[in-house]
Structure formats: C-alpha cells, structure tokens
Amino acid sequence: MYRYNIIYMTIKNYKFSKYFIYYKLADEDYKLRIITNDGKLDTIDKYEHNYTDYNDIELMHVNDVKPSDEVLREYLISFEIWKEECFKNEIYKLDITQGDIFAYQQCFFYLVQNYKDKKTKKFLHDRITSTEYKLFEKCANNAMLYLVEDDIEVQCWSYDRKMAYANIMGSHMKVPTKEGKEFTYKNKHLPSDHKDLQYGFHRVKITYTNKDFLKVFTFSKNNVYVDISLRFAIEVKEQFGLTIEYIQDVKPNAYVYDYDDMIVFCSMTYHWLDTVKQLKAKYPKNPYIKGLTSKTWGFINQKNKIVKTRDEINDNNMDYGLTDDHRYVKVGEYEKNGVDYYEMVDTTNAYRSHIRLKPWITAQARVDIARHALKHLNSVVRICCDSISFNKNIEINDENYVLEDKTSGLIHWKDSNAYYNKTTGYKSKTYDKRR
C-alpha cells in the first residue's frame, strides 16, 4: 500500500492542549458541567468562565446514560485512550484535544489535493458566491426519508451503507471549482438524454403519475434541483410517468457551470480517504476516528456565522432578514443577560471552506440508495439516510452494504425515525416520544 509522508509534527516537540469535557445542564440556561484534563470538576457559564485557555470538548459517544460526574470521570479515562490512539500511530497524527471538528479539518486539508496551491496557499477554487449560496439552500439537502405507511408492523431485512458520505467524497461525483452563471432556457423541455443536461442548478416543475416515485426521489419545495438529482429523474422518467419542465417567469431558470471547471471529487480526496480508512481499520472502536468518515463532509459545509445584537444591526445598516433577498440571512438567535443575539450568515462569504460539496453530496447519497430501491421497489418498506429496509430477504450484491441489526426483524414503525424492534428489543430514542 502506498505510504504517505504525513507525520507533520513529532511527539517529542508536541505538548497536548489543555481541555475540558462538558455536558449542558438541562435545567439551567447556559450552564455546563465540566471535567478538566487533570480531573477537576466544575460548573461554568457557557459564555462567561475562567477556562478560556482550555479547548472545550462535548461529552458524546455514550448511549442511554444520564450525564453525571461519574460519567464525566469515566469519559475522561476513555478520552485519554482515544487521544493516544489518535496521536501515537504511524498512519496520521490526529490531535483531538483541539476538538473533533478542528482535528477533522486539519486532517482533511493536510491531505486534500488541488484545493490550495501548496506554495502560495492561494485557493485554486473560486469563492462561493451569494447567488450560489442561495441556490444551495433552495435545494433539498436532506437525506432520503420514506416509509410505506405510518404505524405499521412488518418483518424487515435492512441494509446499511458503510461510510456512505466518505465513500461519496472518494467517488467520481463531479463538482465545480469556479462560479457559474445564471441562464434562462426558453424551451421548457429538458434534454431527453440525461448526459446532455448541463452541470449546475435547474429550476423546474416535476410531476408524476406513479406514486412509487416517492420511494426514490425527494422534492425541493423551491423547485430547485442540482444536476445529479435531475439526471436520475430523466433516467426514470418513463417508469414513473414524469413531467419535468423549466419554470418560465421573469427569473433565470438555471445556474450553470462550464464543463472545464468541473472536477471529479476523488481527484481531491484520494489521499485523505485512503488514510482515514487505514485509521478506521486499525482502531475500529475509536469514536473520534469513526467520525473522520462520518463528520468530515459536515464541517466542509459549516457556515460562517456572525452574531450581532439588534442595535449593532441597525447601527451598521446591515441588510438583514429571513429571506434570501437580503445579504445577511438569519440562521438562529439566543438571549443572554436580557439581550437578544441574532445569528446570521453573510451570503457573500457564507462558508468556512469554499469547496462546492453541498448540495451535490446529499443528492448523490439519495440517488445511490434509490438505485438499490429500484431493483426491488415493491418490497421497499423504509428508506432513511443510508439505510434501506425490505419486507423480504433480499441480497444486495454490494460490499458497501451490510445487514443492519437495529432494523432487521419484526419492526413496529411509528414513523421513519421512530421504531421498536420486537425481535431484539431495541427501541429508537424517539419511539416512546412519538404518539
């Protein structure tokens, strides 16, 4: 196997950062219960505390256990073991004492290719524009969710896709590296061959005559679809009686990219994916190493959040609001010491990393699992993210899919996320909360 020269820091010269592990106290606003790396327990205010030179690490990876001081102590012991595994290995030195997101970001951008010039550090990818950001948000960016009927009991055989998003990031999915341009198609009809569809976003109306289409497709409430979704729809157009037409109004009905500006994603990520696979194979029970394959894509899509008070918004004459016709778009809010704080993104600089991944990756994930559903469409009971359940024993000839215990057996489904496996006794966390 090809070995990479990736040991970018040495243990001899390295001193682990101070950190505390915390959980939120549910009955007290903004209060955290913490344990420091040297074992000190304390209760602090989330926004005002004396541990500013410590990295904060959330208590995670514990199942069905109520947080307590004892849980914090046990977690600290486990975290120290995970930390040693992450750093003292010959594959890649991962410092999780900086927090998992920082560690994943450091790993990805050290190993990724063709994103920054190694000498000048300048981006090889254009900054994501305001127009693009708004189109990203208008797409359906959620995973596939389908259940044949609510509140049913069915014998199921379920398959889960291993490392779904990581493998997509290591695939030949095509994404743009430069900004595109708005365009208006005068002809309302899309190409009959999906290969002729231009890369980018298309504003179209989709209707169907066969309701089984709902098993394999997720609609955008804004009628905006990235090319991956529409190529699939064109492929199955006759099977499901689809009508797909460009919306004709005063606005552009497409935003398209030049073919020469498209790259296959694996041309960036092959070093990264090979490395994290090696780590996961060596430390299969380390949750922070598992996170490299499940969470990295999420931090790439992290937004640059700006926090302002109402007075600051007014004093700076910020073009702020809820809709995408504003430059600063609200994404959240909270109250502290009687003052309201508004979280927003500047749509001209919305993302921390300018890699065009959202919404291509979510569209590709939906299409990938839809193709497996198409082979046994009448037997599909439920699709949820990267898991698919059938009402009979079906063999999926794909090494990336494995039989999944939680949803295999006699299952009572309240909805696609709330279920009780009567064969094994396993209940989803939401089962008892749903009526």
What are the pLDDT digits (tens) for 274-294? 999 999 999 999 999 999 999
pLDDT of 118-162, one tens digit each?
788 788 999 999 999 999 999 999 999 999 999 999 999 999 999
pLDDT of amino acid 12: 38
Phi, psi of 132, deg, nearest 5: -65, -45
pLDDT of amino acid 3: 33
Confidence of residue 7 (pLDDT cuts 50, 70, 90): very low
pLDDT of amino acid 118: 78
Is the CB of residue 105 less than 8 Å from the CB of residue 94?
Answer: no
What secondary structure letter does DSSP report for 418? -
Distances (CA, A) of 163 to 139, 369, 400: 23, 13, 8
What are the tokens at 158?
A: 């379920």
Confidence of residue 15 (pLDDT cuts 50, 70, 90): low
Residues 6+ apart with CB under 8 A from 275: 4, 6, 91, 92, 107, 111
Report, as an integer, the average pLDDT of 227-255: 97
Report, as an integer, the average pLDDT of 65-85: 95
Q: Which residues of 20-34 are buried (b: 16+ CB within 10 A; e: fewer)?
A: bbbbeeeeeeeebbb
Residue, of 28 and 394, whose pLDDT is higher: 394
pLDDT of amino acid 172: 96
Q: What is the pTM of this model?
A: 0.88
pLDDT of 358-378, one tens digit each?
999 999 999 999 999 999 999
Supply the mean pLDDT for the chain: 91
Phi, psi of 284, deg, nearest 5: -65, -20
Closest CA to 154 of 394, 406, 408, 367: 408
What secondary structure letter does DSSP report for 413? E
pLDDT of 88-98, one tens digit each?
999 999 999 98
């030179």: which residue's tokens?
A: 53
- 100-111 vs 287-294: helix axis angle to the nearest 10? 60
pLDDT of amino acid 334: 85
Report, as an integer, the average pLDDT of 2-6: 34
pLDDT of 297-350, one tens digit each?
988 888 889 999 999 999 999 999 888 889 999 988 988 778 899 999 999 999
CA distance 185 to 202: 10
What secondary structure letter does DSSP report for 261? G
Task: Say yes or no to pLDDT of 10 above 60.
Answer: no
Task: Say yes or no to pLDDT of 28 above 80.
Answer: no
Task: Say yes or no to pLDDT of 43 above 70.
Answer: yes
Report, as an integer, the average pLDDT of 170-186: 96
